Amino acid sequence: MFRKKPTEEPEAAPVEGPVLPLKQGKQTAFRPEPATPGRAHRRDEGNKGMAPDAKTLVIGRQINLKGEIGDCETLMIHGSAEATLSNCKGFVITESGVLKGVAEVEQAEVMGRFEGTLKVRGRLIIRSGGRVQGSISYAEIEIEPGGRLDGTIDSIDPELVQARAAG
């Protein structure tokens, strides 16, 4: 005669920050919040240097990009790209990233792999496990143990770079 009421799980609050994968069989109560100017501003504060006007391009894992990339401040490569970089300030290639092509930048950090023609007017950093191969020129270089630099290598006089930038 009496039936037990089905138990309802309490409604979960919206999730902020990184979201971990759910356990099998579990459901989430995630609901996106409506965009409001004040709310968006607070979220951007947590992403240092990632404001909408930061001119940053991120190529995610398992993404393949071909073409020309221009006028970006920072290029972050987790996937792979065959590209010509023009008027870009710098790039970071993560452990899983690959960049093949031509680039002239102020600074570069390689933890993955670069193949092609690279001119770095400032500092080229090759982290442990990073591979840079091709025609390479740089003003300053830092290679961690385990990093590799192969190909035609030339250094640029840092004073010459600064004089060109000033004039």
Dist. CA 131–CA 143, nearest whole Å = 10
What pLDDT does residue 55 have? 85
Task: Give the helix ranges, DSSP H, for the chain.
Answer: 37-46, 158-166
What pLDDT does residue 163 have? 60
pTM above 0.75, yes or no: no
- Here the tokens at position 119 are 């001119």
Dist. CA 156–CA 129, nearest whole Å = 24
Dist. CA 14–CA 66, nearest whole Å = 37
Q: Which sequence spans correspond to the domains of the chain?
A: 55-166
One digit per residue, pLDDT tens: the chain, 167 residues? 566 665 555 555 555 555 445 555 545 454 545 554 544 444 344 444 455 567 899 999 999 999 999 989 999 999 999 999 988 999 999 999 999 999 999 999 999 999 999 999 999 999 999 999 999 999 999 999 999 999 999 988 876 666 655 65
Dist. CA 5–CA 8, nearest whole Å = 9
What pLDDT does residue 24 have? 52
